[in-house]
Amino acid sequence: MTTAEWALVISALSALAAVASVIFSVLTNKSNQRFQERMQKESLEFQKQIRAEDLKGEQDRQEKEIQRAEEQARSKRIKSVLDKYVERSQRKNERGIDALLNAGITSLKSDSEVREAAKLMKGQTGKHPFGRSEKALEGVDALVILQLWVDERKKQGADFDRFLEQAHAAQAKE
């Protein structure tokens, strides 16, 4: 081969190497671009996940705070009624339904609060605040019964035991 032919071959190989280099550069560039896009997408998804977990954690914390505040308010209501009842039963020797009502038993928010207060009252005074009506209150909402009794006792001659019997009969019909 002549020098001119060798020069032509070398020139062609150089051009081919340059084209290969350009192709390699384009492919590498595309690959890097896809990699960066995938990394950005994964980073955004990770950030969204972190934000969602943070939000869930904050919601859980707020729910626990609300629950704790509600439990504290519940305990405070029960303690207030309990203290008033115990004081009335010790100082004035007052017990039973009237003492419960005077202590504010209807200010409690639920049957479970009334029953918890009654249990604590029995523990502190030695006698159940509902007296012989204790068993009659099983299976009924004590708070509802007490609220109805407040309305009923405004009538002359109302008797709590008779009232409980009527309430049981009415509830059994439902």
Q: Using one digit for the tens of pLDDT, what is the confidence trace for 41-76?
A: 998 999 998 998 989 989 999 999 999 999 999 999
The answer to whether residue 163 is domain-embedded is yes
* Number of structural domains the chain divides into: 1
| Res 60: pLDDT | 92
**Domain residues for 149?**
65-173
The answer to whether residue 143 is domain-embedded is yes
The answer to whether residue 138 is domain-embedded is yes
Structure tokens at 116: 């918890």
The answer to whether residue 153 is domain-embedded is yes
Average pLDDT over residues 10-38: 86
CA–CA distance, 111 with 145 (Å, rounded to integer): 10
Q: Residues near 149 by Cβ (< 8 Å), separated by ≥ 6?
A: 97, 101, 158, 160, 163
pTM given for the model = 0.62
Structure tokens at 3: 């020098």
> Which residue type, as a one-letter code, is found at position 15?
A
The answer to whether residue 3 is domain-embedded is no
The answer to whether residue 24 is domain-embedded is no
The answer to whether residue 13 is domain-embedded is no
Cα Rg of the chain, angstroms: 41
Q: What digits encode the pLDDT tens for the residues 111-159? A: 999 999 999 999 998 888 888 787 778 888 888 888 888 877 766 566 7
The answer to whether residue 17 is domain-embedded is no
